[in-house]
Structure 1
Amino acid sequence: MSDPAPVQSSEALAQEAPTAVFRSRQALLKRLADVVSLPASRVNAFERAVTGDLLVEMLRLASPQERKRVATRLTPLAELPNSLARMLLRDEPAIAGILIEGCVALTDADLCACAADTGTEHRFLMASRRGLSEVVTESLIAFDESPVIEAVLRNPTARLSQPGIEAIVSLSRTSPDLCPHLLKRPELRPSGAYVMFWWCGDEERRTILQRFAVSREVLQEVSEDVFAMAAEENWQDPVARKALQFIERRQRNRAAIEKSPYDSLEHAVAEAAKAGLNPELAAEIAYLAGIKPLTGAKIMGDKGGEPLAILCKATGMSRLDLEHLWRSVRRPETTPDGRPDPDWARVQVTYEMLAVDRAQTVLRYWNWSLSSAMSPALMKAIRDGDEDALDQYSAPERAAMMALAENFGR
């Protein structure tokens, strides 16, 4: 008597027989999806979970078309078995995208796990989902994928945390296409905008100055009597002294003027226009302007030139002084064919559009973030390009690291 034929596994049967003959499979998939879709009054949580597990096992062997039909059937549900959600979210983008885009049952945990376990296409689809929370957007931002981050920034219903915004500001240095989208986000604060200014384009710089160059009038009003208190204490408290230096109306350094070989800041700038700017004279101009030499070097070495206009307006220098400062850094005022140089024209417009108080806010923030926060550890991190250590630094230290990294061979 011959031995009975071996029983074939379901996997082997699925591979050998054509999909078209499995009408029973299609019917059962639909019925199971219907059971999962029943309201809580008809099926309890345990029954739904068991049905979901069985549906998962069937879907593992189902065709893409069948999985897509099931995903479409389950998308409107307010409650979805976790095992089923996990499987479909990790399916090919055309199938996972159905749930990602429209399923309200997905939790932040589901979306973050999907972002971690899948690829760029899934994350790109997720970036356009309505109502993304800060937790999910941080998860998407962490992959440093510019197309995904741009999609998040374009999504008006997505919410961004401040750590997420800071991460995008940092990434925008090497992905400048993100700058215009980032500037449209309501979560962006002056601190991030002032740092991003250094690598933004012309239009973005104008936007930053128009939107974020804020007045310090309210700060000056509420702290007016504190200046007298600090003076009585001989300015011994470094914390209060630093804050009041940011708030006060006066920009120039009177003590530096008394020690300077030049009669005034204007005199130093005029001499620089004649002889050219050297490191010693640049440092002297910075001291007279009430900023650190490091900040002055960053301003005078900027390719766009707008920081020169901000420096002149903040310190009360005239248009003629701006012209002298422009000449001192050997920038052209006209093109070879005799027309006004576009950079010089833009710098003059920047000077005219800013009020003194607002220009001082920008200048003082730069001075605070680019110099006073420069610890030895931060300098080493900048030289080493150690942006992974950003979290251990304060906000001004992070600003300094991002803005100065390019000056140390990045």
Structure 2
Amino acid sequence: MMFDRLIALSQGKSREKRRDLLVLISELFTDGAETHTDAETRLFGDILCRLVDQVSVDVRAQFSERMAPLSCTPHAVALRLAQDEELSVSGVMLEQSDVLTDSDLCEIAGALSQGHLLAITRRRDLSETVTEVLADRGNAEVLEGVTRNETARFSDFGLKRLATRGLDHPTVLRALCKRADMPAERLARAIAAFDAEARGKLENLVALSPDFAALLVTEAADIARRQKQELEQEITALVRRIGQRLSTLDEAIDVFARDDRLDAVAELLVQVSGLEESHIANVLNHDNGYGIAVVCRSLGIGDKAYVKLSELRASHLTPAAVDIDAWIANYAEIDRQAADRALYFHRMRMAVLKAEKK
């Protein structure tokens, strides 16, 4: 009788017949889901997907509600329903289905509507890869939704992106601060990594919400201060080793260059040269290689170490500003005495300026 009914329904072309056939085949599938082979499951999935395209939105929505909670739903069916343009169909599947993979969710979140993204924010146990896409593409409602999802997880990259976009939506930052898995220190690290534009927005936020934004600024400043203190202590110990001839300045620069630590090189040059932090920062980040060449030559840094330092500097400057060959050639032309004289006059000028300020 069942097969006779299937044959009869398959011959009918009306939407009602297609609906009844969809319901009947889905019942056949779910009733024997535990015993189906992989090939049989794929066959059921192919048939159900074809029928889904032949029924009304209301029928698709009802079908999605039935299949979304089931772990046996064929992957092809779950994906077809999750990608449906009608949110009444896709929403429940995106929110509930365990069949959908992170790859599926990332693809959908990267291509479909904000309504689809909002449905994804209501899933349990959202992974870091999915929340990164939501933080990047979501509108204000999506950003707040994923932030308020207590089971969602965030990578450091996703957190920074969410915090940056939250500057335009303060409710998102407030929600981030209230998360149990988001201690102030972690959020402050993300804020400390803001670029100039983001920092400008944060300053504007201070004016709009002083109590909240001041807390974030204070936390970020504390993190930066502790990091600076740790770096100073590390370099002080290194300079002591260099003084004891257990290491050399060239070796230290080589290690820091390999580890991409321009900040450590800067602190090292400050401590061994006695020059101002602002001066060292300026010559390290200036596309003109003369200033840093004078400092390095005066300190007796070797040619090979200077090449390593030049490569490190180049990696932190815009490509258009990089001319390593010119930097190296310039270094070869500067002798130690000329470098010492240049720094002597620099120190004299700075001493005069300090005296005038007093």
Equivalent in 47, 52, 56 of residue 63 of structure 1: 56
**In structure 2, which of residues 10, 26, 36 is the aligned counterpart of residue 43 of structure 1?**
36
Distance 2:267 2:191 in 1: 18
Residue 168 of structure 1 corresponds to which residue in structure 2?
162
For residues 31 and 156 of structure 1, what CA distance do their matches in structure 2 show?
38
Tell me the CA shift for residue 122 of structure 1.
0.6
Superposed, 1:358-373 pairs within 5 Å as none
Task: Specify whether residues 165 and 58 from structure 1 end up closer, same or farther in structure 2 by C-alpha distance, changes over 3 A only.
Answer: same
**Separation in 1, partners of 2:234, 2:88:** 58
Q: Could you tell me how far 1:372 is from its partner in structure 2? A: 11
Q: Is it true that 1:102 corresponds to 2:100 in the alignment?
A: no
Offset at 1:102?
Answer: 1.3
Q: 1:89 deviation in Å?
A: 0.9
Q: Which amino acid aligns with 1:205?
A: A
CA separation of 1:130 and 1:173: change in aligned 2, threshold 3 A:
same
Which residue identity lines up with residue 135 of structure 1 in the other structure?
T
Cα distance between partner residues in 2 of 1:199 and 1:26: 54
Q: 1:124 to 1:177 in 2, by over 3 A?
A: same
The equivalent position to 2:27 in structure 1, one of 34, 49, 69, is: 34
Q: Distance in 2 between matches of 1:110 and 1:247?
A: 48
CA RMSD for the aligned pairs?
4.2
Instruction: Give the structure with the larger helix fraction.
Output: 2
Which residue of the other structure, out of 210, 213, 219, is the alignment partner of 1:210? 219
Q: Does 1:139 align with 2:151?
A: no
1:176–1:199 CA contact under 8 A, matched in 2: no
Which of 194, 198, 201 is the equivalent residue of 1:199? 201
Q: Does 2:149 correspond to 1:155?
A: yes
Contact 1:144 1:171 in 2 (8 A): no
The answer for the alignment partner of 1:81 in structure 2 is 74
Q: Give the equivalent residue in structure 1 for 2:339.
A: none
Q: Match for 1:51: what amino acid?
A: F
Within a 5 Å distance, the mapping from 1:225-240 to structure 2 comes to 225-231=237-243, 235=249, 237-238=252-253, 239=256
Instruction: Return the alpha-carbon distance in structure 1 between the equivalents of residues 32 and 233 of structure 2.
Output: 61
CA distance in 1, matches of 2:239, 2:188: 25
Q: Which runs of 5+ in 1 are unaligned?
A: 1-9, 257-285, 296-370, 381-410
Give the CA deviation at 1:132. Answer: 1.2
- TM-score norm. by structure 2 comes to 0.57
Instruction: Return 94-103 or 168-177, whichever deviates more.
Output: 168-177
Looking at structure 1, the residues matched to 115 and 191 of structure 2 have their Cα atoms a distance apart, in angstroms, of 30
Q: Which has the higher contact order (CA 8 A, sep 6+)?
A: 1
- C-alpha distance in 2, partners of 1:42/1:234? 71
Instruction: Label 1:246 to 1:198 Cα distance change in 2 as closer, same or farther (>3 A).
Output: farther
C-alpha spacing 1:76/1:287, structure 2 compared with 1 (3 Å) = closer
TM-score of the aligned structures, taking structure 1 as reference length:
0.51
- Stretches of structure 2 that go unaligned for 5 or more consecutive residues are 1-9, 207-211, 286-312, 323-358
Change (3 A) 1:242 1:160: closer
- What secondary structure sits across from 2:29 in the alignment? helix
Percent identical pairs in the alignment equals 21
Distance, in Å, in 2 between the alignment partners of 1:31 and 1:192 is 53
Query: Residues 44 and 205 (structure 1 numbering): CA distance in 2 closer, same or farther, change over 3 Å?
Result: same
* Alpha-carbon displacement from aligned partner over 1:254-298 (angstroms, at most 9, x marks no partner): 645xxxxxxxxxxxxxxxxxxxxxxxxxxxxx859x976999xxx
